[in-house]
Structure 1
Amino acid sequence: MRLKCIVCGYSHVPLICQEIPNKHREEKPPDKRVERKNDHTMTNQTLTTHVFLQTLRLSLRGNKGIRSVKGLVDSGSQRSYILRSTAATLNLKPKRTEKITHCLFGGTQVDNTHYCYDITVFRGNYSITFEVLDQFCICNDVATVFYGPWIQELRIADIDVSDVGESGLIEVLIGADVAGLFYTGRRHKLKSVLVAYETHFGWTMEGKVPTQSSLSMLTTVSMLSNPTITELWQLDVLGISDPEGRKSKEELAMAARRMFEETVQMNEEGRYEVRLPWLEDHPVLPNNLETARKRLAGTLKKLAKDQLISRYDEVFKK
């Protein structure tokens, strides 16, 4: 792949381009942005929140072995459900079929025919067998408990949430018909509106938290009186600043060169070191430490169960 300077077009990196100072001294063209009309624009910005739902990691026993799935406790549902593909993977045998009229949000009624199964959920020596109906799709992906100040509160209270890490597909919905059998009766109220509940299959949590960084979502409602197409194209009319428009490519190249000249140095080994040119105004990356710890704990538990820890340890020592 051939290099091409974004400033002069020749074959070299922008950091060593000799045209940057000359171009920087050129007079910039006047700003032709559309003038903001306060009497024509009213912008309402609302920071949304995220609501944790009661999700759990469950172990299902079927005719084709054991499967770890993501479950959702939903007391608003009178029946419990299993994903049709999950039932097929476990080779579950249906007991009968049931025709049910689902009363949905808004009063809509839908008639569906479901296969009925008995499934067994277990953890250690504790297990529950209950009846579920199959469903082609239960719901969209549901977010797990992500990192935030509540993680430290849970750690202090010695609470280990069952479902952490990446969002995933709900394969089992635990309805009001059996949800009461899952809870142990213990609960813990956090400083925020979050509440943690203990089940026989681990802790789960629900409540509302403010979203931050990449998880935040800004809702912008704009009302323009007779806007032109050009005005609709201008993001600043809506109160949105375009990150790509803050600095031109030439200015970014100059900033990168200036940072290189200011931070380059020779270390004790005689090698040159320079700071990485991070993007400005980039949102803070999330901390996945808790997710990594959970995965490590799960891996160690599986290795211990299969009696493979000593063999893995020998390989790492070689």
Structure 2
Amino acid sequence: MVADMHKFVNNLKLVDNTSNSGNAEAVLSSLTSSVKVKTNTQNTVLLQTVKAWAVGPKERKISRCLLDGGSQRSFVHRDIVRALGLPVVRQETLNLHVFGSTSPVVEKRNIVRVQLENVWNTERKIEIDAVETPEVCTAVIKVPTEPIQAEIKKRGLQLGDFPLEGANEQELQMLIGADYYWQAVTGKVQRVTDSLVAVETLFGWALQGPVTTSSVIDTTCMHISLTEDTQLSKQLFAFWEVESLGIKINHQKAQRTQKLCNISNNLKENSQGQYRLPQTLCM
């Protein structure tokens, strides 16, 4: 990934010194940011993930499940067990084999019972006994991207794994292993591409296979904030005043000139040759 971020901040202060009441200040601030992020095209492999209602005696919750025919047992996250109050039906000593390990881990685990239901049709359901575990999977298993979601929708299929507001989209709460896998799938398969297939399950269609993802983000935004007061308004008025004529009128001088003209027109000479100014025009 190559990332380049640039920020430019400019603050311009306009001060009016023509008022005797003190300097009034207006601040014009502009912020321009440009962010460019480029990621190389890469392949990721989608696994069969779905969302289903997990139902227990205390509660029901939408949970993300991985359908994995390569696991001999099904597993459920400890947090789901506690939140739903799932009953412990028995305990078993298990030999847990992990990839890369030379010997299995022997542990005694609780086996709990949980009912899984289709999110849109609760009549489509399955009850399973699963091993309680502190962690189902730490790997990042992505939700199908929007273009893939659109393609599945165009085919008239209901995608089983979908964005859920306020949830961690990549976290798995349950794994349905080979002990229940063929009860959860119907056997129907549709080929989306040469390598990507859709598998119908009780909870919607699940996708499996490699997909190509790439993204380029190039955004530029500009924010301008103006704090204005009466002094700034006076400045703007003076600036724009008869701008098209290229002149600026001095209103105070114009008023004084007009007053002098009025005085000249209203002067009256008396019998002694003196001029008197009417009281109403006295300055």
Q: TM over 0.5: same fold?
A: yes
Q: Name the residue aligned to 1:271.
A: none
Structure whose residues are more often strand by fraction = 2
Q: Name the residue aligned to 2:112.
A: 117
> Partners of 1:91 and 1:157 in 2: how far apart?
39
Structure whose residues are more often helix by fraction = 1
Q: Name the residue aligned to 1:90.
A: 84
CA deviation after TM superposition for structure 1 residue 74, in Å: 1.1
Q: Name the residue aligned to 1:146.
A: 145
Aligned residues: 186
> Partners of 1:64 and 1:145 in 2: how far apart?
31
Q: Name the residue aligned to 1:298.
A: none
Q: Name the residue aligned to 1:100.
A: 94
**Cα RMSD for the two superposed structures:** 2.9
- The 8 Å contact of residues 88 and 110 in structure 2, kept in 1 or not, is answered as yes
Q: Name the residue aligned to 1:237.
A: none
Q: 1:66 aligns with which of 60, 67, 76?
A: 60
> Partners of 1:74 and 1:169 in 2: how far apart?
15
> Partners of 2:11 and 2:83 in 1: how far apart?
59
Question: Relative to 1, partners in 2 of residues 1:9 and 1:58: Cα closer, same or farther, differing over 3 Å?
Answer: same
Q: Name the residue aligned to 2:29.
A: 13
**Residue 193 in 1 paired to residue 195 in 2?**
yes
Deviations 1:171-192 (A, max 9, x none): 1100011101111111110134
SS at match of 1:115: strand
The one-letter code matched in structure 2 to 1:91 is G
CA deviation after TM superposition for structure 1 residue 63, in Å: 0.7
The one-letter code matched in structure 1 to 2:29 is V
The structure whose Rg is larger is 2
CA deviation after TM superposition for structure 1 residue 85, in Å: 1.1
SS at match of 1:13: strand
Question: Which residues of 2 match residues 14-33 of structure 1 at below 5 A?
Answer: none
> Partners of 1:155 and 1:177 in 2: how far apart?
30
> Partners of 2:216 and 2:186 in 1: how far apart?
35
Using the size of structure 1 for normalisation, the TM-score is 0.52
Using the size of structure 2 for normalisation, the TM-score is 0.58
CA deviation after TM superposition for structure 1 residue 87, in Å: 0.6
The one-letter code matched in structure 2 to 1:115 is N
Question: Relative to 1, partners in 2 of residues 1:256 and 1:197: Cα closer, same or farther, differing over 3 Å?
Answer: closer
CA deviation after TM superposition for structure 1 residue 7, in Å: 6.2
Q: Name the residue aligned to 2:44.
A: 50
- The 8 Å contact of residues 10 and 29 in structure 2, kept in 1 or not, is answered as no
> Partners of 1:256 and 1:134 in 2: how far apart?
52
SS at match of 2:129: strand
Question: Relative to 1, partners in 2 of residues 1:101 and 1:6: Cα closer, same or farther, differing over 3 Å?
Answer: same
The one-letter code matched in structure 2 to 1:100 is L
Q: Which runs of 5+ in 2 are unaligned?
A: 1-7, 14-26, 32-38, 224-283
**Residue 183 in 1 paired to residue 199 in 2?**
no
Deviations 1:253-283 (A, max 9, x none): xx979xxxxxxxxxxxxxxxxxxxxxxxxxx
